[in-house]
Structure 1
Amino acid sequence: MNITFVSYEVAPFAKVGGLGDVVGTLPKFLQKKVDSISVIMPFHKIVEKNIEKYNLPLEKIDENLYPFSHSLKYPFSVFKSVLPETNVPVYLIKNENLFSTEDVYEYPHPEHQTSYFCDASLSLIKNLLPDVDIIHVNDWQTSLIPVYLRNNYRDDEILNKKATVLTIHNLGYQGIFSPDTLNVAGLPGYLYNIDALEFFGQINFLKGGILFSDVINTVSKTYAEEIQTEEYGYKLDGVLKIRNEDLYGILNGIDYDSFNPQTDKLIPHNFSISNLDNKIKNKLALQEQLNLPKKENVPVISFIGRIVEQKGIDLISEIIDYLTLLDIQIVILGTGDKKYEELLIKYQNKYPDKLSINIKFDLELAQLIYAGSDMFMMPSKYEPCGLGQMYSMRYGTIPIVRYTGGLADTVKEFSCENNKGTGFGFYEYSSSNLLISILKALNIYFRNNDCWKNLIKNAMSSDFSWDKSADEYLHLYKKAINKKNC
């Protein structure tokens, strides 16, 4: 079985969110289970800097290739690198006109850029990877690939044999554009109808991927159920119900070799379940770095993520005044909505000994926060999978979450009575429920040290490695091939 992933971001070449982490990691665990695996992505401007930063190889392997159908007849070159610590090839599609911005998602006409990339990826596959069996596309940016295959290339002797798997990492982002985008993309006009890409007078790239892929999955079992409801479906719940028999949920994993508190080079003090004293040393190092009072018995509660309402930052903001009355410290790292960024900075100025607000992306600081915090907040409005809660548990930092999507699948409510569970959470989306969950955690932290240590050990013993998920993907690929051959 030969697999190729197609994605707009792949860590460490270009990473904006969890999509980059997943596509940069999952192939590493699949490579020993399949005949061959590769990755295709755009040659974004940031890619060259990261290739140099991580000392990765880079060679040009082809040039003057063209998309087959797209109206923008720009030529593209193909460069080749590898995923770090693997032999998985990464093919980079380069065109100076379209992939010309510093930010991965900054191009002014994303509908032109993404549709070109989809068609160019199929040109690359036909010319350089003709033996691929499965094309694994990710999110709306690559969702036109199954649309092209089922319509423009259904008679192509090479491309019509390819099965497709679409992974929806976040249904909230769909790629909705004007109908004339079909002409630019070189797709047939008959796709502008309710049973294809038409979507409330526009066209919807992700809807096309859902309808034309052989198999669809999302990144947790609970989220796969949630997106078929009106509350979470973002007006695609009806389409997803139509494809219900081909819709699966496979939980994301994390790389336990890279995220390992015993060997992590980005934290000052390595530690393990049997040596939690060094975890406290990381807390002191975190407090010192962020100019917070160094107090080992004061719990540090952290948040790492996008500063947006989807991540529950509105709930956190609503209770900060109350939380600062408690003997705790709060650390926040991330960027996002300017309204909340400015509000959080005001709170920091008001409570400088209680709050550290870091409006930036900083991988090294993130690792220290995971290692040095006592608790980790993820009160998301919705969360397809979430990786932060997995990272925090790996480092013995207790998650406080809203039980939705992947958070419901990975965090189990802790009870001192039976010492089972890995964190704390709530269901109804409200700041009062978040506060109650935080107070539950603090009550155990301050009043029952033995119980808290058992909770830490439970969290650190959780297994969210990619091995199990990789086996589930292998099963999914077989389903896609069987469906394609029916």
Structure 2
Amino acid sequence: MKIAYISYEVSPYAKAGGLADVAGALPKYIRDLGENIYVIMPFHKIIENNTDTSNFELVKSNLIPDSHNYKSPFSVYKSFLPNSKVTVYFIKSEELFDSKNIYEEENIFLKTSYFCDAALKTIKELENDTLVINLNDWHTSLISVYLKTNYIEDNVLGKISTLLSIHNIGYQGLFDPNVLNYAGLPNYLFNMNALEYYGKVNVLKGGILFSDVINTVSPTYAKEIQTEEYGYGMDKILKVKSDDLFGILNGIDYSVYDPINDPHIFAPIKSYEDKLKNKRSLQRYLNLNINANKTIVSFIGRLFDQKGVDLISKIVEYFLLADVQFILLGTGEKNYEDYFSSLINIFPKKVSINITFDVDLAQKIYAGSDIFLMPSKYEPCGLGQMYSMRYGTVPVVRYTGGLKDTVTEFNPKDKIGTGFGFHEYNESDLLYSLLKAVYTNQKRKEDWINLFENCMKADFSYEKTATKYIELYKIALSKKRGF
């Protein structure tokens, strides 16, 4: 079975969020299980900053998408995911993929729709025995629409089945109706049974309706998005498609997030004493007071309400009155950037506020912190809590989506559980859970070491995830073939 994995971002080439991490890891594990899989992504300008592109092989040039009305030619370059034999095809258009910001709003429909049609042209030219395409989020959703309309009778593309992976249903791709003309798609698609959504074209809706199978990135999130609270207007459509909707928990790449061999961290972590070495080194590195008895609470992520940053901002000055230190790494809304930066003067030597994107520092924080905060308003899967547990850092989360599927409440009686959490989205419940974790860290050291060991033993490797994706590819094929 040959599979095309198509994503608008793929690590390490171009990354804006967790999708890139999944796209850069999952195909490797699927190939390890014996399936023939390759990746297609745009040749974003930022790739030249992240990767040595001198070894990229030009395999096709002057190709034109068959349907799209933007007839500028594109080239296809070839490389491989690092440390693997998974082919990556890069679609290069000097005129379109010319921004260092992957998701730059200007002309984003033109760029994503062109990429969708160009990806299908690439498959037809280079991998014409492909049987399944794995799409990711709205940026690639038009591929399913193209296949079920313009290419339904194509002798190559008409045979292909599709799986749409929804990583965050809050982002859907809403545009004016005239964009269908740009994409070269029939105008009849602008109706309530297809892409029309309150007077706009909704690209993700098209992906949901036209894909053979749909999955989200955790079992709980698959249930949540069928409710009005979490469905962002797609809940009724997803209920209709519920027989085709599945939830598969993301994994993390253990070859990259490796507490024994990670070159970014201060010392390999094999024991709790090793954990404390990283803690003291992190304090020194960030100019905090060096004291292993002070609890380090950290947050890594985007500074937006979805990540629970509004709750953190309401309690941070209260919990900083305790014997704790706080580390933040991330960028986002300016009001949050400014507020957290102001804490440096109020709590010197107790806070480290890093308004930036820094992979090296992120690894050091995962390895050296005691507690990792992730109080998300909603969380399709979440990777931060998995990264933190991989390095023995205890998560404090809101039990929603993938956080509910990955973190279990610590029970001091039977010593099981990997973290602390709460259910209702409010700051008082977050503060209570956080202070319970801090108390356990400072006053119940034996329990804390149990927690550390439980986190280190948790298994979020991609082997199980890859196996479940292969099962969905087979389901998609069976639906396409009518049995």
The TM-score, its normalising length taken from structure 1, stands at 0.98
Contact 1:107 1:113 in 2 (8 A): no
Amino acid aligned to 2:8: Y
Instruction: Give the SS at the match of 1:24.
Output: helix
Amino acid aligned to 2:469: Y
Amino acid aligned to 1:261: P
Aligned positions of 1:54-69 closer than 5 A: 57-69=55-67
Q: Which residue of 1 aligns with 2:32?
A: 32
Q: Structure 2 residue aligned with 1:356, among 327, 341, 352?
A: 352
Contact 2:9 2:41 in 1 (8 A): yes
Q: Give per-residue Cα distances to partners, 1:16-64, cap 9 Å, x unaligned.
A: 1000000100011000224411000000001122221xx7831111100
Instruction: Give the SS at the match of 1:45.
Output: coil
- For 2:451 and 2:11, the matched residues in 1 are separated by 32
Contact 1:57 1:82 in 2 (8 A): no
Q: Structure 2 residue aligned with 1:329, among 321, 325, 329?
A: 325
Contact 2:272 2:452 in 1 (8 A): no
Report the CA distance between 1:349 and its aligned residue: 2.0
Q: Which residue of 2 aligns with 1:45?
A: 45
Q: Which residue of 2 aligns with 1:190?
A: 188
Q: Which residue of 1 aligns with 2:22?
A: 22
Unaligned runs of at least 5 residues, structure 2? none
Q: Which residue of 2 aligns with 1:225?
A: 223
Report the CA distance between 1:256 and its aligned residue: 1.4
Q: Structure 2 residue aligned with 1:292, among 281, 284, 288?
A: 288
Q: Which residue of 2 aligns with 1:124?
A: 122
- For 1:57 and 1:254, the matched residues in 2 are separated by 27
**Aligned pair count?**
482
Q: Give per-residue Cα distances to partners, 1:436-474, cap 9 Å, x unaligned.
A: 001111121122111110111011100010001111011
Q: Which residue of 2 aligns with 1:134?
A: 132
- For 1:77 and 1:225, the matched residues in 2 are separated by 41
Q: Give per-residue Cα distances to partners, 1:209-257, cap 9 Å, x unaligned.
A: 0000000000000000000000000001111111100000000000112
Q: Which residue of 2 aligns with 1:459?
A: 455
**Does residue 338 in structure 1 map to residue 320 in structure 2?**
no
- For 1:470 and 1:131, the matched residues in 2 are separated by 21
- For 2:401 and 2:338, the matched residues in 1 are separated by 29
Report the CA distance between 1:107 and its aligned residue: 5.0
Q: Give per-residue Cα distances to partners, 1:80-125, cap 9 Å, x unaligned.
A: 0100000101000000111011111115110111000001110111
- For 1:76 and 1:448, the matched residues in 2 are separated by 61
Instruction: Give the SS at the match of 1:85.
Output: coil
Amino acid aligned to 2:39: V
- For 1:289 and 1:454, the matched residues in 2 are separated by 27
Q: Give per-residue Cα distances to partners, 1:242-297, cap 9 Å, x unaligned.
A: 1100000000000112111111111121111xx22121111111111111111111
Instruction: Give the SS at the match of 1:64.
Output: strand
**Does residue 146 in structure 1 map to residue 144 in structure 2?**
yes
Q: Which residue of 2 aligns with 1:311?
A: 307
Instruction: Give the SS at the match of 2:352.
Output: strand
Contact 1:2 1:34 in 2 (8 A): no
Amino acid aligned to 2:244: D
Instruction: Give the SS at the match of 2:466.
Output: helix
- For 1:40 and 1:165, the matched residues in 2 are separated by 15
Unaligned runs of at least 5 residues, structure 1? none
- For 2:41 and 2:442, the matched residues in 1 are separated by 49
Q: Give per-residue Cα distances to partners, 1:166-220, cap 9 Å, x unaligned.
A: 0000001000000000001000000000000000000000000000000000000
- For 2:283 and 2:159, the matched residues in 1 are separated by 57
- For 1:353 and 1:35, the matched residues in 2 are separated by 52
Q: Which residue of 2 aligns with 1:106?
A: 104
- For 1:254 and 1:449, the matched residues in 2 are separated by 28
**Does residue 212 in structure 1 map to residue 210 in structure 2?**
yes
Q: Structure 1 residue aligned with 2:437, among 425, 437, 441?
A: 441
- For 1:484 and 1:184, the matched residues in 2 are separated by 28
Q: Structure 2 residue aligned with 1:426, among 419, 422, 428?
A: 422
Instruction: Give the SS at the match of 1:415.
Output: coil
- For 2:71 and 2:335, the matched residues in 1 are separated by 41
Q: Which residue of 2 aligns with 1:259?
A: 257
The TM-score, its normalising length taken from structure 2, stands at 0.99
Q: Which residue of 2 aligns with 1:379?
A: 375
Amino acid aligned to 2:17: G
Q: Which residue of 1 aligns with 2:409?
A: 413
- For 2:54 and 2:382, the matched residues in 1 are separated by 28
Q: Which residue of 1 aligns with 2:200?
A: 202
- For 1:35 and 1:256, the matched residues in 2 are separated by 20
Contact 1:118 1:144 in 2 (8 A): yes
- For 1:448 and 1:35, the matched residues in 2 are separated by 48
Amino acid aligned to 1:32: D
- For 1:107 and 1:384, the matched residues in 2 are separated by 23
Contact 2:77 2:89 in 1 (8 A): yes
Q: Give per-residue Cα distances to partners, 1:340-392, cap 9 Å, x unaligned.
A: 11111112221122211100011110000000000000000000000000010
Instruction: Give the SS at the match of 2:55.
Output: coil
Amino acid aligned to 1:4: A
RMSD: 0.9
Amino acid aligned to 2:353: I
- Name which of structure 1's ranges 426-435 and 41-50 shifts more when overlaid on structure 2: 41-50
Q: Which residue of 2 aligns with 1:90?
A: 88
Instruction: Give the SS at the match of 1:203.
Output: strand
- For 2:112 and 2:210, the matched residues in 1 are separated by 17
